[in-house]
Chain A
Amino acid sequence: MHFEYFINGGDFSKAGQASSHFKKVLQQLNVAPQIIKRIVVALYEAEVNIVAHAFEGKIIIELQPDSVVMMLTDKGPGIPDIEKAMEIGYSTASPKVREMGFGAGMGLSNIKNNADHLEISSTVGTGTTVTIKVNLKSDQLTD
């Protein structure tokens, strides 16, 4: 199954709508609740990142019998130092983002902790692509 969502940068009133929709899909498909939580926490953090940092973005999700692959591509400032961005506590978020309860430098590590595979590629001044894979049959749950 294939899903696509368009994300507006800066529009916090709608941040999370894509993740919310996809969560309902997973529930309808009777995916295990612990797996759903890993998928939607990673997806939601990544969706919030687009809203927080980019001008616009697109989420493409491929749902297969044994895994879900979520590719989030944005047009935005890009990440100059991905290794640094992965560090817990490092953030370039604006005060507005912090008012929304994010921007503490935990998003990417939260994504990593819930993903079975994570890839980030970025070009400064162009944008970022985050690809998150979560196995549906995995019983190795993240605490």
Chain B
Amino acid sequence: MKLSEVVEFLNAKVVCGHDNLSREVYRAFASDLMSDVLTINTQNLLLLTGLTNIQTIRTSEMADVLNIVIVRNKKATSEMIEIAKEMGMVILECDYSMYKTCGILFSKGLNPVY
């Protein structure tokens, strides 16, 4: 699934990484727990999270995650955006709950990690 499609399906706002929306994601993982994210060993991953602090970005950096959807109408901080841009990350913001966000993407065919 292309990130541009994720934007469309979730009615999401692109916070940074506008130039990378043609990037494909093959699987998604949803968690607010960063230690959980650090156990995942999957390429081309989409991370869904409601955690909006700098550790979301640092965790993504360590776990080689380039694509993040922030759910529950939370907003990325300026510090998050600044570092995400340096890393070539895409951050999307979505008004939906985690459950609804996952449900939409799953129904559109985006696979889970496990």
**Residues in A lying within 8 Å of B, measured CB to CB:** 12-13, 15-16, 19-20, 23, 33, 37, 40-41, 44-45, 48, 99-102, 104, 106-107, 110, 113, 141-143
Contact = CB atoms under 8 A, between A and B. Distances in A.
Contacts, number: 70
Majority SS at the chain B contact face: helix
Given A12-B55, A13-B54, A20-B58, A106 B63 contact: no
A100 B34 CA distance: 8
B38 A44 contact: yes
Contacts of B33: 101-102, 104, 106
Contacts of B39: 106, 110, 113
Given A12-B53, A110-B35, 19 more contacts: A13-B54, A15-B58, A16-B55, A16-B59, A16-B61, A16-B62, A20-B58, A37-B41, A37-B63, A41-B38, A44-B58, A99-B53, A100-B53, A101-B53, A101-B55, A101-B56, A102-B35, A102-B55, A104-B35
Of all A-B residue pairs in the complex, the 8 with the closest CB atoms, nearest first, are A16-B58, A101-B34, A106-B35, A44-B62, A40-B62, A101-B51, A100-B55, A41-B38
B46 to A, nearest CB: 17
Interface in B10-56: 32-36, 38-39, 41, 51, 53-56
Interface residues of B, number: 20
B5 interface: no
